[in-house]
Structure 1
């Protein structure tokens, strides 16, 4: 008697062929990986736009003159691990591609009903285990999940692989990929009727409910403008659990009076001068120093001296002295956090008998950390690309900082309060919850 082949998990009808990951047969793998940046996976199973019933025509401001109206689509966005699936073998993390099962037996039928109601299904997941074997197993698992999705139900899965770029939740990079895809096809995402379902809500844990590993799902939903619910609420109709609303975390709006502060204090004299001078910046990383230089000093012929670019303080001093000897004004754009560091520049000014002024950037440290992530993930295209600085850069600045004083030998000290400058869209992103770097 010929051997009978087993299905992937033993629960499928006998007539259905096993998945090739288990049988080893050369069968077609379900779904496909779409072209995407190196730190993003974009997997699709079936075409959600193939069914005309999945779109609802609504008037929009961008309706064309011939009466054609754009279509809005409601989307159920899901986290993956802990929301749609969980490890089958009971561990905290899956051990292989087949170590998974539905989060609850009702999940596949629930997804089918949502599809029949005209909703699109999209998974937004944070991954990022750097081990190549783990990454390969995870990619292989996506086709296994597609094989267990109810027949004819399309699903897309996006996963952020890096732990430090715009794609990682609560960053909205993955949503922007989806938004552009729909826009390019002539559709809009109906945010009012869409939802994000995720288990990272910031629950502290009580009784049978374990502590959430974070609150990135909730913050992602708030950043995008989506209604947020937990899997228990969505699939099981449980009451809303307790978690901090709004979530714990920094937002620029928490500083309240930031926009009302004068940009420069005092502000009754010109920022630049016509005479030869040294201008010394003091402030934490990502406090706006380089942008301030480009806006006010570069156009007036001041040369930019930056240790991150030049490598050492000695090299900065030598190059600055050369420029000054040629009659060119300079700006020293470093953190210059304490008296000892600033004294090098004061001695140079005294030796060359030229004035030295100081601009103190009064950006709070928490805002500087926020700016660090914003500019690395969403920095304007017309500004230099920035990499994400480690938290050590900010913590060490705070630990070593000494407030500058005119008694150190400066001719003038002026304060610079942080004012955001950018488009409305850039401001919207700056106002969001940012990725909380552990580096």
Structure 2
């Protein structure tokens, strides 16, 4: 029997093959000890820290840019806020997107030394990044990349990284949820962020692209900086000293202040009669307007206190159920009702006109004159920033607005209404809430 065969036969059947020789840790990255910690955070937010920025404030620093709290007074710290991909790092293998946790390198060789200088000047370094690929493997690889970045940071230079995982919540830029997390953390530590001397560096400026320079994937970094009140620069300006590139300033996009005449319009047209009836006589009031145009808030403020029953298809499910509920409320209980649906065309409104005729009660219409772009904006605002005393609202798909606009027919009194009144959108809230409402909002997929 050949020697080779005897050796194979003498090995136990459960034995495995001889172990393969492992590559040197230098080639696998195993020689690098992972640094940093993942902090507790919302499920849709990653919060990672490398070293403690507060413990490394230079002892001799006395300016408001980084001095420690004294006599109970908060001191200010200047922060360099950075986007991550395309700003601090880029794919090492040259692709548009990284292929693994190891597929990254510094955006430019000067980045580490620049971060070192900023730290030595007393500035804190904070990354504000949008992520959100739903594939679990991609998210896992991205999380695993953060300790590898920490390993490559200059010695003793702290770094804080926040990343939004959802595409549709308060944290995703240009929304300011990640900034507010940082702001609250600093206030808890006894510091304020020195906005005047802080900066946001990002590659999403809205540049159109020219020659070898491709166009930006968006302008969310620039809008985020404007929303917070931060000076905005691109990586080329910040790290390389290049002149400011051309991009739309202010950015292309909607914010309510662009509707300059909105606040000057009368709230109700005509306004000489009461909005809600104070009598006990039954009636049907029909709302017409796009989603997020203020219909439900208008009902709660003006009609609910006067005993009107709220009829809404989002709650009842179908138009037939709404019709049956309204008929029972008017005919059996003698109530006044408000039909809070979009009621976009004559055909839809005709159902309610026939019901009013059948029950022999008056029917009035309130047309909410909210522009579609403002309604889309309100949709995001109320889903992300609505006051805690307002009912929580889900983010509606853009199709809800485009389908309304395409099917809309202007209401007319000759359809059978006893009265038609217009309602212009007026924001109701505190000045702080108004400033937040007037920010650039994230733009959900259309």
Provide TM-score, normalisation by structure 1: 0.93
1:329 corresponds to 2:342: no
Instruction: Say whether the 8 Å CA contact 2:64–2:77 is kept in structure 1.
Output: no
Q: Give 1:339 deviation, angstroms.
A: 0.3
Instruction: Say whether the 8 Å CA contact 1:282–1:334 is kept in structure 2.
Output: yes
CA distance in 2, matches of 1:426, 1:37: 23
SS of residue in 1 equivalent to 2:58 = helix
Q: Give 1:19 deviation, angstroms.
A: 2.2
Q: Give 1:437 deviation, angstroms.
A: 1.2
Q: Give 1:117 deviation, angstroms.
A: 0.3
Which among 339, 351, 356 is matched to residue 363 of structure 2? 356
Q: 1:324 to 1:57 in 2, by over 3 A?
A: farther
Q: Give 1:68 deviation, angstroms.
A: 3.7
CA distance in 2, matches of 1:269, 1:72: 54
Unaligned runs of 5+ in 1: 11-16, 21-28
1:164 corresponds to 2:168: yes
CA distance in 2, matches of 1:85, 1:205: 20
CA distance in 2, matches of 1:290, 1:383: 10
1:105 corresponds to 2:109: yes
- The aligned counterpart of 1:370 is 377
After superposition, the CA RMSD in angstroms is 1.8
Instruction: Say whether the 8 Å CA contact 2:174–2:220 is kept in structure 1.
Output: yes
Which among 51, 54, 74 is matched to residue 46 of structure 1? 51
1:287 corresponds to 2:293: yes
Instruction: Say whether the 8 Å CA contact 1:272–1:296 is kept in structure 2.
Output: yes
1:320 corresponds to 2:339: no
Q: Deviations over 1:151-202 (max 9, x none)?
A: 1110000000010111000000000000000011111000000000000000
Which among 305, 315, 319 is matched to residue 311 of structure 2? 305
Q: 1:349 to 1:104 in 2, by over 3 A?
A: same
- The aligned counterpart of 1:391 is 398
- The aligned counterpart of 1:18 is 31
Q: Give 1:51 deviation, angstroms.
A: 2.1
CA distance in 1, matches of 2:371, 2:98: 41
CA distance in 1, matches of 2:37, 2:27: 19
Trace 1:24-103 onto structure 2 (pairs within 5 A): 29-53=34-58, 58=64, 67-103=71-107
- The aligned counterpart of 1:380 is 387
CA distance in 2, matches of 1:383, 1:128: 28
Q: Which has the larger radius of gyration?
A: 2
SS of residue in 1 equivalent to 2:301 = helix
- The aligned counterpart of 1:14 is none
- The aligned counterpart of 1:7 is 26
Instruction: Say whether the 8 Å CA contact 1:56–1:73 is kept in structure 2.
Output: no
CA distance in 1, matches of 2:174, 2:109: 28
CA distance in 2, matches of 1:211, 1:79: 17
SS of residue in 2 equivalent to 1:320 = helix
Q: Give 1:6 deviation, angstroms.
A: 4.0
1:218 corresponds to 2:231: no
Count residues in correspondence: 419
Q: Give 1:358 deviation, angstroms.
A: 0.3
CA distance in 1, matches of 2:23, 2:354: 86
- The aligned counterpart of 1:26 is none
Instruction: Say whether the 8 Å CA contact 1:304–1:331 is kept in structure 2.
Output: yes
Unaligned runs of 5+ in 2: 1-20
- The aligned counterpart of 1:346 is 353
Q: 1:57 to 1:302 in 2, by over 3 A?
A: farther
CA distance in 2, matches of 1:69, 1:166: 30
CA distance in 1, matches of 2:252, 2:410: 30
Q: 1:359 to 1:4 in 2, by over 3 A?
A: closer
Provide TM-score, normalisation by structure 2: 0.91
